[in-house]
Amino acid sequence: MAFYAGFDLGGTQLKYGLIDEKGDTVFKAKTLTPPSIGELMGLFKKLWQELRAKAGKQIRAIGLGYAGIYSLRNTNILQSPNSSSLDNFDLSAGLASAFDAPFWVDNDANLAAFGEYACGAGRNSQSLILLTLGTGIGSGIVLDGDVWHGSCGFAGELGHITVRPEGEWCKCGNRGCLETEAAAPAVVRNHWQLSGRSDTTTAEDVFHRAEAGETAARRSFAKVGSFLGIGLGIAINFMNPERILIGGGVMAAGPYILPHALEEARRRSWEAAFKCCSIGAASLGNDAGFLGAASWAKKQAG
Ligand SMILES: [Zn+2]
């Protein structure tokens, strides 16, 4: 039996685990992401030894999803939004001294999309888009069974397509990105505007109010849904995807978001393309990243 290891390196947590040849999870765990490069590389070495102790030489390959701008062309980190000490770090060379098996590094959202394709709600499809609605919006694209990387690995950033030209300023330098209009902070901002109060601090607060029947709370999610629908319409017209999967914490409020998103997407996309796209919930939650990383390594190792 062969096994494949996956790591999902986020700003606060490092999730990791092993899958078998069928893509089933045989082990998973998580730990805190350390603040410095030295500690991070030491941690990878330690975790790799832990995985080796569990499955020995049967681990054929490793995949690693990284939450930041990683250049596939130069195999280094161009920009690390969670820890500036990693900016310009040659991650591939660092990992080569920690791992003694072939490994592949990729953007975390790309690999999460591949995880849903290989092990989750995207099984049995050929092309899909995954959108993860949380504090920001992560996204990845699988086309004909492959991650769509673009020229240098930066494709699939649907969180930064413009859905509202005069909207909020985004950390990417643009304004009115899907991320600024449809992620958790937008839910709270909408609620402040619509309720005239400022006593909600998280999308979860607004969700509880929506559940209690508050109109302003429900409209806050409806507004986010409409902007999400604009993004979906663009994606549908551009890609004609077989599936669009939506995950992330904000989707706990899916019943208040999705009907509005679907209505807007239908209005803004080519009817034939909308009809043949199934839009639904992602299924792997926070495991999508490491499962995608391991599955990607399995595919690359052949
Ligand atoms: Zn942006």
Whether the pLDDT of residue 2 is over 80: the answer is yes
CA–CA separation, 124 and 126 (whole Å): 7
Predicted confidence (pLDDT) per residue in 205-227, tens digit: 999 999 999 999 999 999 999 99
Find the 176 Cα to ligand 1 centroid distance in Å.
7
Say if strands 3-9 and 13-20 run parallel, antiparallel, or are unpaired: antiparallel
Find the 190 Cα to ligand 1 centroid distance in Å.
18
pLDDT score recorded for residue 60: 96
Whether the pLDDT of residue 56 is over 90: the answer is no
Mean pLDDT over residues 100-104, rounded?
Answer: 94
Mean pLDDT over residues 79-83, rounded?
Answer: 71
3-state secondary structure of 139: strand
pLDDT score recorded for residue 254: 96
Find the 182 Cα to ligand 1 centroid distance in Å.
11
Say if strands 128-133 and 243-247 run parallel, antiparallel, or are unpaired: parallel
Predicted confidence (pLDDT) per residue in 181-205, tens digit: 999 999 999 999 999 999 999 999 9
3-state secondary structure of 138: strand
Whether the pLDDT of residue 292 is over 80: the answer is yes
Whether the pLDDT of residue 75 is over 80: the answer is no
CA–CA separation, 8 and 30 (whole Å): 9
| Cβ < 5 A residues, ion ligand 1 | 160, 170, 172, 174, 177
CA–CA separation, 78 and 59 (whole Å): 29
Whether the pLDDT of residue 77 is over 90: the answer is no
Whether the pLDDT of residue 67 is over 90: the answer is no
